[in-house]
């Protein structure tokens, strides 16, 4: 039969009749009606291997059990996923997977999120009858690339990683060698697992065969909590989870973020993230975090707290604005969230009319790019700045080069600079900036970590990282997505929008925003691109605000 | 007497592998007729169907039916692949065919290719079959020079290229989809079905895979007529086949028998009976993957259906005879080792199960068996059975289940002897 032009078939699964589109696998069909079928080799983003045999189901009129990951639904099919026969087969397949798997869970980094452990509890629970020795494999704890460790004896040969390297990264580093139960997952001779997406093989490995060098032995996974976020490392805005540990603060040198994991979004990144994004989080817990507001005068550094610091900043900004021949410059960053960009623009326009806005998307990172995920623009919110008229293409907004010339010419009386560090840019971009910084009488720096600019700044405002605040960013496809707050900011740092709100009030305005959501609502009223947008409706996968560029 | 001389007559002719000798004995008349008389595909297929010829590699699928699965109207290449990767333990019949009657195989290839429009055929030959490969190469050269292969065969507009590819020693590459993977240049891993090779096979094109012996019977079927061939056998098992008999018989070798001949006749008449006139203990009827038979079952008729009825298979025609002195524990251990060594490792039950069963058998054979081992072995075998990608899992499971079930006392004695042996 046909509904909406898509041919559908009538299928009974576990006693209930459903309609499914032709060509759908039994696994997908079952999943779509809430029936979970155990599996190891199946992964929705990879070609079907049919190797693990965990997903066997019973189909009426077919004598053998069939793998549901491969078999497609047919009209009139009667499928059973929970009969004694199916359950026995699952337990049997699980037992086979464990024949040569070491019992090293206590020292295995995968413990707690291991497919073997989970299915043993749900589908196994038999008493071991294995008396035989296990096959000894070659490589244990072998580094096979910059990010990935291989433990062959833990591998269940599901071939997910092999298929990932063949079909997704298309780099073909991994293969299964030898035969029978001596089969080994390994790297091809002379190769390294060194592709821009290598970390994904750790995510898709259902066991502890491939582990993350960076994460290994840092924190047990059951201490981790997770927050939905968006990768801050480039303009693609890949969806991620921040996995953080607050329960055992003495682990991992007190670092709160343990790792980033991809979060499925079919419109943005599917199941994957790149390695640059995956390991970009270190700055949030580094020793060079800015932890309290600073005021520097005559080579002395004072820590007078937020109120006085912002009071001084406001006072000096006002004085500069009143002076002749010099400009108050605001260097806006595409690292900032939409809320922060909006409130920055609003407050400077309202409180210090005549100030000059500058914009730069330059970044210290290499402008890597490919057709899978990575974008040349290494900022998460350049598109957001564009939509708010704050990018270099916008009327009245000037470039970094123009800022430098103006500074060198002595025309910049005060610079409010957020997240940027022009002297820290690659050599081709940073020429002359050390001197330019010297020539600016007042530099107010807002950022997360210490940089050349923050060290030269007269006033330093410590800001929260993407993990420490709520906010939205707009990716290069104009998709507005939420970065949820995982935990509170380090030290006395505050979310960027809140620093701005306080500065606005110190400058004499009234800005009654209590949270990022309210700033977002204010922004949505202001810009046509965001008009009618409701923070509550952005959801986990974001909303496109305009048709692309 | 069930012995016939259809293929095996060439075993007795000197230099029968050479084209002039082969032609002197009526060779290439069938292929010439089919090609020059421009037999339509349907005629070739219906002739072979009528002969009841079934696949002789082991599975016994009706040959004509298989050829009929290839879509007629599909554009693009179609391939015929000859499975000459004979490696089932106890099987050595295709080797004899290729050594003695390579042109009979080539003739069969020509007719089969015409039956579904293949213009290219590949012979995937077992790597260890060095001499048969040389003979076959020589025969292909002769056939090409005579205009029977290549362009414009038999002076017609038809063409057929035949390429030999040598395997690298993996038993699994005799499984048809693993063979295709290997032929395509990949690791010899079986593929998921469907699609079946007839629709999507070699390089994703429609492909027919036939065993050497099967194809070698095709010219005979055409020459003598399908009724003659079918008449040799019993109801649904057409004609004859080559039985390779080995083990404890006085005259091991390859014998061609009409299907339906009693196994007892093969063992006691053609193969000369058991060595030193000992008593028969067990027979594997068609290569080690077929469930073993007890001596009392040796009267069985050698045809596909009769063996299936008693829970075994005619398989590849490799009959392995074991006399009363045979230690079946050691035999099963050896069989287990073979399948564990040859499991490709792709799917879990076969990869892990074959090795596990082997290690248990190793322990039992070493006198370290425990009472529960036997039930565990049968259970493991049943856990593999039917749950794997390809039939190798079943091939490994069936001997275990059948040996232990049928000769339980012998295995139990070995397991119980433990306390004595160790004590």
Cis peptide before B273 (omega within 30 of 0): no
Tokens of A431: 């020429």
Looking at the predicted structure, is the pLDDT value of residue B257 above 90? Answer: yes
Cis peptide before B195 (omega within 30 of 0): yes
Write down the pLDDT at residue B418.
Answer: 58
| Whole-number Å distance between alpha carbons of B364 and A384 | 72
Looking at the predicted structure, is the pLDDT value of residue B368 above 80? Answer: yes
B313 and B333 belong to one structural domain = no
B51 and B187 belong to one structural domain = yes
Nearest residue in chain B measured CA to CA from A58: B387
Count of A-B CB contacts under 8 Å? 96
Residues 30-59 in A contacting B (C-alpha not used; CB under 8 Å): 48, 50-54, 56
Nearest by CB to residue A96, choosing from B172, B353, B376, is B353
| Whole-number Å distance between alpha carbons of A92 and A85 | 10
Domain ranges (residues) in chain A: 2-99, 105-285, 294-544
Domain-located, residue B85: yes
Which of A62, A96, A123 is the best residue to mutate to test the B interface, defined by the most B CB atoms within 10 Å of its own CB? A96
What is the number of other CB atoms lying within 10 angstroms of the CB of residue B325? Answer: 11
- List CB contacts (< 8 A) between A54 and chain B: 348
Query: Is 3.30.70.20 the CATH classification of the domain at A2-99?
Result: no
B299 and B369 belong to one structural domain = no
Looking at the predicted structure, is the pLDDT value of residue B52 above 50? Answer: yes
Looking at the predicted structure, is the pLDDT value of residue B421 above 90? Answer: no
Name the least confident of A28-37, A203-212, B54-63, B78-87.
Answer: B54-63
Domain-located, residue B155: yes
B154 and B210 belong to one structural domain = yes
- List CB contacts (< 8 A) between B177 and chain A: none
Under an 8 A CB cutoff, do A179 and B344 touch?
Answer: yes
Nearest residue in chain A measured CA to CA from B385: A64
| Whole-number Å distance between alpha carbons of A34 and B36 | 62
Give the domain extent around B379.
328-422
Tokens of A412: 């910049």
Write down the pLDDT at residue B193.
Answer: 93
Rounded to a whole number, what is the distance in Å from the CA of B144 to chain A's nearest CA?
39
Looking at the predicted structure, is the pLDDT value of residue B422 above 50? Answer: no
Residue A281 and residue A264 in contact, taking contact as beta carbons nearer than 8 Å: no
Domain-located, residue B110: yes
B40 and B127 belong to one structural domain = yes
Domain-located, residue B1: no
Looking at the predicted structure, is the pLDDT value of residue B403 above 60? Answer: yes
Under an 8 A CB cutoff, do A64 and B349 touch?
Answer: no
Rounded to a whole number, what is the distance in Å from the CA of B377 to chain A's nearest CA?
11
Residue B256 and residue B96 in contact, taking contact as beta carbons nearer than 8 Å: no
What is the number of other CB atoms lying within 10 angstroms of the CB of residue A150? Answer: 26
Rounded to a whole number, what is the distance in Å from the CA of A100 to chain B's nearest CA?
7
Under an 8 A CB cutoff, do B359 and A133 touch?
Answer: yes
B245 and B224 belong to one structural domain = no
Give chain B's mean pLDDT.
96
Rounded to a whole number, what is the distance in Å from the CA of A130 to chain B's nearest CA?
9
Under an 8 A CB cutoff, do A92 and B340 touch?
Answer: no
Helices (H), A103-191: 115-119, 160-163
Q: What phi-psi label fits residue A538: left (phi over 0), alpha (psi between -120 and 50 degrees) or beta?
A: alpha
B87 and B50 belong to one structural domain = yes
Secondary structure (3-state) at A87 = helix
What is the number of other CB atoms lying within 10 angstroms of the CB of residue A525? Answer: 11
**What pTM was estimated for this model as a whole?**
0.95
Tokens of A338: 């939409």
Nearest by CB to residue A180, choosing from B345, B363, B370, is B345
Q: What's the CATH code of the domain at B356?
A: 1.20.1440.230
Under an 8 A CB cutoff, do A53 and B346 touch?
Answer: no
Write down the pLDDT at residue B238.
Answer: 73
Confidence tier at B420 by pLDDT (50, 70, 90): very low
Which of A53, A178, A182 is the best residue to mutate to test the B interface, defined by the most B CB atoms within 10 Å of its own CB? A53
Closest by Cα among A109, A111, A97, A99 to A39: A97
Under an 8 A CB cutoff, do B343 and A181 touch?
Answer: yes
Nearest residue in chain A measured CA to CA from B381: A92
Under an 8 A CB cutoff, do B192 and A64 touch?
Answer: no
Q: Domain ends where: B323, B344, B362?
A: B323
Nearest residue in chain B measured CA to CA from A130: B356
Write down the pLDDT at residue A2.
Answer: 57
Residues 124-163 in A contacting B (C-alpha not used; CB under 8 Å): 129-133, 135, 156-157
Burial A112-136 (b: 16+ CB within 10 A, else e): eebbbbebbeebbeeeeeeeeebbe
Q: What are residue B327's phi and psi, to 5 degrees?
A: -85, 100
A56-61 contacts, C-beta under 8 A, 24 or more apart: A56/A86, A56/A89, A56/A90, A56/A93, A56/B387, A57/A26, A57/A30, A57/A81, A57/A86, A58/A83, A58/A85, A58/A86, A59/A26
State how many domains chain B has.
3
Give chain A's mean pLDDT.
96
Nearest by CB to residue A181, choosing from B172, B355, B388, is B355
Give just the sign of the alpha carbon dihedral A377, A380, A385, A387. positive
Task: Inform me whether the C-beta atom of residue A180 falls under 8 Å from chain B C-beta atoms.
Answer: yes
B59 and B118 belong to one structural domain = yes
Q: What's the CATH code of the domain at B308?
A: 3.10.20.600
Secondary structure (3-state) at B32 = helix
Rounded to a whole number, what is the distance in Å from the CA of A122 to chain B's nearest CA?
19
A294-544: CATH topology: Rossmann fold (3.40.50)
- List CB contacts (< 8 A) between A131 and chain B: 360, 363, 370
Nearest residue in chain A measured CA to CA from B363: A132
pLDDT in tens, B278-332: 999 999 999 999 999 999 999 999 999 999 999 999 999 999 999 999 999 999 9
| Whole-number Å distance between alpha carbons of B339 and A128 | 24
Looking at the predicted structure, is the pLDDT value of residue B126 above 50? Answer: yes
Nearest by CB to residue A48, choosing from B170, B192, B346, is B192
Which of A153, A179, A182, A186 is the best residue to mutate to test the B interface, defined by the most B CB atoms within 10 Å of its own CB? A179
Residue A275 and residue A255 in contact, taking contact as beta carbons nearer than 8 Å: no
Nearest residue in chain A measured CA to CA from B386: A64
Under an 8 A CB cutoff, do B345 and A183 touch?
Answer: yes
B344 and B299 belong to one structural domain = no
Nearest residue in chain B measured CA to CA from A63: B386
**Across the strands, what pairs with B54?**
B62
Torsion angle (degrees, nearest 10) of CA B85, B86, B87, B89: 170
Which of A65, A92, A128 is the best residue to mutate to test the B interface, defined by the most B CB atoms within 10 Å of its own CB? A92
B175 and B129 belong to one structural domain = yes
Task: State which residues of chain A have pLDDT below 50.
Answer: 547-549
Rounded to a whole number, what is the distance in Å from the CA of A7 to chain B's nearest CA?
21
- List CB contacts (< 8 A) between A157 and chain B: 345-346, 348, 351
Instruction: Mark out chain B residues that contact chain A at CB-CB < 8 A.
Output: 170, 172, 187, 192, 340-349, 351-356, 359-360, 363, 370, 372, 376, 383, 386-389
Under an 8 A CB cutoff, do A129 and B187 touch?
Answer: no
Residue B102 and residue B136 in contact, taking contact as beta carbons nearer than 8 Å: yes
Q: Domain ends where: B278, B299, B323?
A: B323
Same fold, A2-99 and A294-544: no
- List CB contacts (< 8 A) between A133 and chain B: 359
B18 and B95 belong to one structural domain = yes
**Across the strands, what pairs with B120?**
B79, B161
Q: Domain ends where: B323, B341, B375?
A: B323
**Rounded mean pLDDT, B189-204:** 96
CATH of domain A105-285: 3.30.70.20
Write down the pLDDT at residue A549.
Answer: 41
Q: What's the CATH code of the domain at B51?
A: 3.40.50.11540
Residue B91 and residue B244 in contact, taking contact as beta carbons nearer than 8 Å: yes
Residue A477 and residue A315 in contact, taking contact as beta carbons nearer than 8 Å: no
B130 and B197 belong to one structural domain = yes
- List CB contacts (< 8 A) between B340 and chain A: 180-181
Closest by Cα among A86, A99, A80, A64 to A12: A80
């Amino acid at each position: 039969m046909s509904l909406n032009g898509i041919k559908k078939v009538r299928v009974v699964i576990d006693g209930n009749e459903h309609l499914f589109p032709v060509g759908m696998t039994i696994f997908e069909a079952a999943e779509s009606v809430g029936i979970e079928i155990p599996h190891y080799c199946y992964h929705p983003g990879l070609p079907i291997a049919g190797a693990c045999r965990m997903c066997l189901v019973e189909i009426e009129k077919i004598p053998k059990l069939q793998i549901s990951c491969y078999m497609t639904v047919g009209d009139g099919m009667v499928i059973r996923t929970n009969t004694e026969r199916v359950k026995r087969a699952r337990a049997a397949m699980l037992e086979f997977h464990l024949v040569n798997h070491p019992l090293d869970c206590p020292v295995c980094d995968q413990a707690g999120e291991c497919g073997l452990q989970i299915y043993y509890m749900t589908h196994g629970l038999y008493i071991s009858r294995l008396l035989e020795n296990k096959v000894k494999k070659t490589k244990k704890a072998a580094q096979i690339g910059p990010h990935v460790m291989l433990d062959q004896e833990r591998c269940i040969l599901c071939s997910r990683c092999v298929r990932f390297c063949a079909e997704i990264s298309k780099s073909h580093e991994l293969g299964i060698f030898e035969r029978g139960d001596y089969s080994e997952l390994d790297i091809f001779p002379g190769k390294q697992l060194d592709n821009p997406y290598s970390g994904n093989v750790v995510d898709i490995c259902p066991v502890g065969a491939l582990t993350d060098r960076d994460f290994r032995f840092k924190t047990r996974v059951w201490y981790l909590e997770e927050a939905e976020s968006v990768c801050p490392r480039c303009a693609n805005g890949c969806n991620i989870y921040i996995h953080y540990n607050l329960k055992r603060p003495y682990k991992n040198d007190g670092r709160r973020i343990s790792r980033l994991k991809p979060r499925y979004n079919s419109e943005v990144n599917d199941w994957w993230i790149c390695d640059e994004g995956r390991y970009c989080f270190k700055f949030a817990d580094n020793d060079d975090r800015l932890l309290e507001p600073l005021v520097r005068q005559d080579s002395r550094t004072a820590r007078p707290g937020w109120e006085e610091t912002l009071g001084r900043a406001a006072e000096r900004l006002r004085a500069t604005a009143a002076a002749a021949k010099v400009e108050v410059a605001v260097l806006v960053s595409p690292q900032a969230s939409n809320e922060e960009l909006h409130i920055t623009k609003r407050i400077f326009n309202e409180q210090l009319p005549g100030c000059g806005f500058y914009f730069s998307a330059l970044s210290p990172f290499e402008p890597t790019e490919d057709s899978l995920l990575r974008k040349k623009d290494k900022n998460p919110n350049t598109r957001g700045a564009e939509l708010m008229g704050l990018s270099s293409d916008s009327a009245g907004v000037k470039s970094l080069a123009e800022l430098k010339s103006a500074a060198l010419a002595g025309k910049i009386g005060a610079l409010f600079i957020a997240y940027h560090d022009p002297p820290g840019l690659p050599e081709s971009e940073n020429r002359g900036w050390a001197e330019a910084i010297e020539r600016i009488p007042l530099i107010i720096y807002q950022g997360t970590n210490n940089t050349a600019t923050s060290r030269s700044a007269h006033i330093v405002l410590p800001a929260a990282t993407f993990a420490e605040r709520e906010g939205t960013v707009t990716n290069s496809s104009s998709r507005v997505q939420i970065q949820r707050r995982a935990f509170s900011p380090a030290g006395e740092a505050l979310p960027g929008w809140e620093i701005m709100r306080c500065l606005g009030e110190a400058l004499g305005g009234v800005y009654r925003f209590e949270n990022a959501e309210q700033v977002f609502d204010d922004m949505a009223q202001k810009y046509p691109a965001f008009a009618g947008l409701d923070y509550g409706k952005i959801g986990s996968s974001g909303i496109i605000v305009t048709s692309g560029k | 007497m069930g012995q016939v001389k259809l293929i095996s007559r060439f075993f007795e002719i000197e230099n029968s592998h050479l084209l002039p000798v082969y032609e002197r004995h009526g060779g290439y008349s069938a292929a010439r007729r089919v090609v020059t008389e421009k037999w339509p595909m349907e005629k070739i297929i219906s002739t072979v169907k009528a002969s009841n010829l079934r696949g002789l590699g082991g599975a016994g699928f009706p040959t004509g039916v298989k050829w009929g699965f290839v879509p007629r109207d599909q554009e693009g290449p179609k391939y015929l692949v000859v499975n000459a990767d004979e490696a089932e333990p106890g099987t050595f019949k295709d080797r004899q065919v290729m050594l003695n009657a390579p042109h009979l195989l080539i003739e069969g290839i020509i007719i089969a290719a015409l039956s579904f429009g293949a213009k290219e055929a590949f012979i995937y030959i077992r790597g260890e079959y060095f001499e048969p490969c040389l003979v076959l190469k020589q025969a292909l050269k002769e056939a090409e020079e005579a205009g029977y292969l290549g362009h414009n065969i038999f002076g017609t507009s038809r063409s057929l290229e035949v390429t030999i590819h040598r395997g690298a020693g993996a038993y699994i590459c005799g499984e048809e989809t693993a063979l295709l993977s290997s032929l395509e240049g990949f690791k010899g891993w079986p593929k998921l079905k469907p699609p079946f090779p007839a629709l999507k096979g070699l390089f994703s094109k429609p492909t027919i895979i036939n065993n050497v012996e099967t194809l070698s019977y095709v010219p005979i079927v055409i020459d003598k007529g399908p009724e003659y061939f079918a008449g040799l056998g019993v109801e649904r098992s057409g004609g004859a086949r080559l039985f390779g008999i080995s083990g404890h018989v006085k005259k091991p070798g390859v014998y061609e028998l009409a299907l339906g001949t009693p196994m007892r006749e093969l063992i006691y008449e053609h193969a000369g009976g058991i060595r030193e006139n000992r008593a028969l203990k067990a027979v594997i009827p068609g290569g080690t993957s077929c469930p073993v038979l007890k001596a009392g079952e040796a009267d069985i008729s050698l045809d596909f259906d009769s063996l299936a009825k008693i829970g075994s298979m005619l398989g590849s025609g490799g009959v392995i005879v074991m006399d009363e002195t045979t230690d079946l524990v050691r035999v099963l251990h050896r069989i287990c080792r073979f399948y564990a060594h040859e499991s490709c490792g792709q799917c879990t039950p076969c990869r892990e199960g074959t090795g596990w069963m082997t290690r248990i058998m190793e322990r039992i054979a070493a006198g370290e068996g425990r009472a529960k081992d036997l039930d565990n072995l049968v259970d493991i075998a049943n856990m593999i059975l039917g749950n794997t990608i390809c039939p190798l899992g079943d091939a490994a499971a069936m001997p275990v289940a059948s040996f232990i079930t049928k000769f339980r006392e012998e295995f139990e004695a070995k397991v119980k002897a433990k306390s004595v042996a160790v004590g």
